Amino acid sequence: MSVAAGPDNLGCVNYRSDAVIVGGGIAGICAALELLEGGASVLLLDRDEEDNFGGLAKESFGGIFVVGSPEQQRAGFRDTPDAAFADWCSFGELPQSEHWPRAWASAYVHRSLGDIHRWLRDRGIGFFPIPHWVERGEKTIGNTAPRFHLVWGTGRVLATVLAGRLREHRGAARLTSKFGHRVDALLVRNGAAAGCRGTIEASGAEFEADAASVVVAAGGINGSGSLVRKHWHPDWASPPETILNGSHRYADGTLHEAVRAAGGRITHLDKMWNYAAGVHHYRPRKPDHGLSLVPPRSALWVNWRGERVRPPLVSGFDTRALVAAVCRQERQYSWQVLNRKIALKELAVSGAEFNPSIREKRFLAFLRDTLIGNRWLVDELTANCKDFVVAATLAELVAKMNRLQGDEAVRLDVLERDLRDFDDKVARRAASEDEQVARIVELRKYRSDKVRTCNLQPILDPKAGPLIAIREFIISRKSLGGMQTDLGSRVLDESGKPIPGLYAAGEAAGFGGGGMHGLRALEGTFLGGCILTGRVAGRAIRGESNP
Ligand SMILES: Cc1cc2nc3c(=O)[nH]c(=O)nc-3n(C[C@H](O)[C@H](O)[C@H](O)COP(=O)(O)OP(=O)(O)OC[C@H]3O[C@@H](n4cnc5c(N)ncnc54)[C@H](O)[C@@H]3O)c2cc1C
């Protein structure tokens, strides 16, 4: 059957296909690839414009969590699914009672090598030779091995290659993609999903899409400031006044409500993966558009008064704890104070946009940025981003911080005291006296962190200036909760039974099971989770017994 379309006499556009996929992000693309493989006709609907096909994955950094890869082995790590599962459940504090989240976590660690890493490689997607070691854990154990495998070319390549595979598929004639189509509700007949309906944004015309199977792959809720606030986790005090948007502009929960109305169970929406170091995008493409910095480890992390946050904050161990620490402050934003030398080596922005050398696979440029510092990035951010201030002296820096803040809250004497104290411990390499110094020493034992972390660089060192202060806000990113699904990506109802014909994948499904991570997520499991759940949804619909 091919996709059929046409207006009825009430002006409503009608589509008919075997399966309809709501959302053209990476999860929707992977589901579509599997469905075409199985011979189905597919209608893919997306609210966004065609240029953004690929969704957040296209903007992403492209790091994917993989267990037991050749890259890990080359780096000297023999990783196993059992070890990864133990780390995952510890980091996410994922209890035995969480049946479907744990089932998906287990599926992920066992299948990441074959169904994600090898599957992508077979489709021409390569990986950076050394995996990154992120989320090592702080109070709870995190990654005990490096598992973040960066796609060579970032998420841009990941999304565009897979989108290209769809276009070139031998069954491509069975795929119809419609952009600017906002899905508002699901069609349910006799207790089974039967399609969806919505609005064509350009004309305001209504449409209905009939299909025996519906895959909801419309992303999470973290693009909606009001939903982020509504579901704010109590561990993070109250939601901050400013929360930047690092998610999709259409990640607004419309499909969560539609699935709920169809009887589906939505769980764990209070679990989110937000970041502590967001700055305003200076070329915003959506309201409150933020950039998520990879926070420099050698910077001093201080509060709105210029006092060092204690215990000291260092990125790479527990992102959730960083958010909690900032939200505990009276004013829920923070500053990182550093110098140009540190910025050149350590400052980075997550995502494809600000990593041109990796995105465009320019190895020599990447090597240059790593070895002698990323001048382009530092100059770009300090010149354009309003949250960066630069000064030759500390007094001048504090004056600029206060001007930006709009009051005299940052105290020069307090900041100077804390900087001198930290610099003294850095200079003496006093790991036993300062947790941040200890962590820098620990990080530098791993090759890929060593090249991206200064070797104990004092901040007030006159040879390393000028000084830089970055004002950082909480930035919303990923929904860890969502539609509860079984291991066939089938959406479950409140009694735990699958709703016939209804599937969910990617961030919409909490990356599997309605929240496969628990409280915390090991980085790279988002893209990986979208690929796996999307593929499983497509394979389940085409009747695979073990999708
Ligand atoms: C800058 C950045 C860096 C990242 N880096 C990484 C990384 O290195 N590793 C990692 O694992 N993850 C990373 N992520 C997260 C990851 O990219 C996302 O979690 C993932 O891409 C989500 O994919 P998805 O298909 O589930 O949803 P999305 O990409 O959000 O796609 C959903 C699609 O549904 C459409 N849609 C929404 N509502 C409707 C509606 N009502 N009707 C029709 N269509 C609708 C949207 O337009 C969108 O195209 C990053 C994210 C960002 C923003």
pLDDT in tens, 83-112: 999 999 999 999 999 999 999 999 999 999
Q: How far is the CA of 162 from the centre of ligand 1 (A)?
A: 14
Query: Whose CA is closest to 208, among 36, 5, 422, 454?
Result: 5
Is the CB of residue 353 below 6 angstroms from any atom belonging to ligand 1? no
What is the average pLDDT across 43-48? 98
Q: How far is the CA of 25 from the centre of ligand 1 (A)?
A: 6
Q: What per-residue confidence (pLDDT) applies to 9?
A: 57
Cβ-contact 46, 177 below 8 angstroms: yes
Beta strands in 115-191 (DSSP E): 148-150, 175-178, 181-189
What is the average pLDDT across 238-266? 97
Is the CB of residue 62 below 6 angstroms from any atom belonging to ligand 1? yes
Nearest atom in ligand 1 to 63's CA = 8
Res. 256: pLDDT tops 70: yes
CA angle 172, 174, 180 (to 5 degrees): 85
| Collapsed DSSP state (helix, strand, coil) of residue 37 | helix
What is the average pLDDT across 116-133? 97
Q: State how beta strands 213-216 and 498-504 pair.
A: parallel
Tokens of 422: 């930290």
Q: What per-residue confidence (pLDDT) applies to 11?
A: 80
- Among 10-14, 292-296, 335-339, 351-355, which is the least confidently predicted range? 10-14
Nearest atom in ligand 1 to 28's CA = 25
pLDDT, tens digit (0-9, with 9 covering 90-100), for 145-183 = 999 999 999 999 999 999 999 999 999 999 999 999 999
Cβ-contact 410, 402 below 8 angstroms: yes
pLDDT, tens digit (0-9, with 9 covering 90-100), for 357-386 = 999 999 999 989 888 899 999 999 999 999
Q: What per-residue confidence (pLDDT) applies to 2?
A: 46
Nearest atom in ligand 1 to 29's CA = 25
Mind giving me the DSSP string for 61-77? --EEE-SS-HHHHHTT-
Dist. CA 30–CA 25, nearest whole Å:
9
Tokens of 19: 């399966």
Is the CB of residue 507 below 6 angstroms from any atom belonging to ligand 1? yes
Q: How far is the CA of 116 from the centre of ligand 1 (A)?
A: 17
Q: What per-residue confidence (pLDDT) applies to 312?
A: 97
Q: How far is the CA of 479 from the centre of ligand 1 (A)?
A: 10
By most ligand atoms within 8 Å of CB, the mutation choice from 527, 531, 536 for ligand 1 is 527
Is the CB of residue 219 below 6 angstroms from any atom belonging to ligand 1? yes
Q: What per-residue confidence (pLDDT) applies to 164?
A: 98
What is the average pLDDT across 186-208? 97
Res. 131: pLDDT tops 70: yes
Q: What per-residue confidence (pLDDT) applies to 27?
A: 98
Is the CB of residue 61 below 6 angstroms from any atom belonging to ligand 1? yes
Q: How far is the CA of 223 from the centre of ligand 1 (A)?
A: 10
Cβ-contact 322, 138 below 8 angstroms: no
| 333 C-beta neighbours (distance < 10 Å), count | 20
Res. 1: pLDDT tops 50: no
| 154 C-beta neighbours (distance < 10 Å), count | 29
Is the CB of residue 475 below 6 angstroms from any atom belonging to ligand 1? no
Predicted confidence band of residue 7 (pLDDT cuts 50, 70, 90):
low
Cβ-contact 110, 81 below 8 angstroms: yes
Res. 4: pLDDT tops 60: no
* 0.85 exceeded by pTM: yes
Q: How far is the CA of 50 from the centre of ligand 1 (A)?
A: 15
Nearest atom in ligand 1 to 23's CA = 34
**Average pLDDT of the chain, as a whole number:** 96
Q: How far is the CA of 524 from the centre of ligand 1 (A)?
A: 13
Q: How far is the CA of 40 from the centre of ligand 1 (A)?
A: 25
Cβ-contact 440, 314 below 8 angstroms: yes
What is the average pLDDT across 248-269? 98
Q: What per-residue confidence (pLDDT) applies to 337?
A: 98
Is the CB of residue 290 below 6 angstroms from any atom belonging to ligand 1? no
Q: What per-residue confidence (pLDDT) applies to 3?
A: 57
Q: How far is the CA of 435 from the centre of ligand 1 (A)?
A: 35
Q: What per-residue confidence (pLDDT) applies to 44?
A: 98
Atom 31 (ligand 1): residue with closest C-alpha?
Answer: 25
Tokens of 41: 């006709």
Q: What per-residue confidence (pLDDT) applies to 8?
A: 65
Query: Whose CA is closest to 185, among 20, 59, 29?
Result: 20
Q: What per-residue confidence (pLDDT) applies to 371?
A: 87
By most ligand atoms within 8 Å of CB, the mutation choice from 59, 526, 531 for ligand 1 is 526
